[in-house]
Amino acid sequence: MIIKAAHKTDVNEQISSLLEEIAVGGWTIVLYNDEVNTFDWVINCLVKYCQHDTVQAEQCAWFVHTKGKYAVKSGSKSRLAPICEALCEKGLSAVLEFKD
């Protein structure tokens, strides 16, 4: 009986995880402003990792600078997680957030 309860919990967690994964557009990468990275560096990273064109990357960088943070990309968690990780590895302040 305990095994079934533990198994049921695992299944429920897996179902919850899958439901979050398929929430189209529910996840975003939020980029935060900092005093370290230059506009050029942020723009280059957005072009390289988020596949923004230069104009879109410049606009995002400006929003981050003026508003303190900005959602630079949205999609599924599985698609965005490696992008967010790459941005962080390049020294940017980015987090993955779920939006209801």
- For the stretch 12-61, pLDDT in tens is 776 665 565 555 559 999 999 999 999 999 999 999 999 999 999 999 99
39 closest CA partner among 20, 57, 53: 57
Question: Is it the case that residue 93 has pLDDT exceeding 60?
Answer: yes
Largest CA distance in the chain: 59
Structure tokens at 5: 């309860």
Q: What pTM does this model have?
A: 0.76
Contact 21, 15 (CB under 8 A): no
Q: How far apart are the first and last CA of the chain?
A: 36
Question: Is it the case that residue 1 has pLDDT exceeding 90?
Answer: no
Question: Is it the case that residue 74 has pLDDT exceeding 50?
Answer: yes
List of domains in the chain: 24-98 (3.30.1390.10)
Read off the amino acid at residue 6: A
96 closest CA partner among 62, 71, 67: 71
